[in-house]
Amino acid sequence: QVQLVESGGGLVQPGGSLRLSCAASGNILRIRTMGWYRQAAGKQRELVARSTSAGSTNYADSVKGRFTISRDNAKNTVYLQMNSLKPEDTGVYYCNLVLVISGGRSDDYWGQGTQVTVSS
């Protein structure tokens, strides 16, 4: 019913910038949160940034001041602007969508993942 399509990943040099996009389609009734997670090789998946329906944001300490999450509610799209990229930012980035469903419960959806590689 719900599909998340990610784009914007690629190879960039340290200090460069990249913007990830995640567009949700399907039965989008009410969004609780939209966010980004990443998983580096050999490491656990971790929260990078999250945006709530109320407009609050949460960032991993490692990306604060460098990454910015934003949303286009009309398009059900979330973005992750990544600046001053470092090699340790390398990983597969996953879009996450949490929808409010009947009864106040939530459903989670995930994008397919997009590779971000920061290297010279």
pLDDT, tens digit (0-9, with 9 covering 90-100), for 45-103: 999 999 987 889 999 999 999 999 999 988 989 999 999 999 999 999 999 999 988 88
Is residue 1 pLDDT above 90, yes or no? no
What pLDDT, on a 0 to 100 scale, did the predictor assign at position 28? 87
Q: What are the tens digits of pLDDT across the range 13-39?
A: 999 999 999 999 998 888 899 999 999
Q: Classify burial at 56, counting beta carbons within 10 Å of its beta carbon; exposed 0-12, middle 13-18, buried 19 or more.
A: exposed
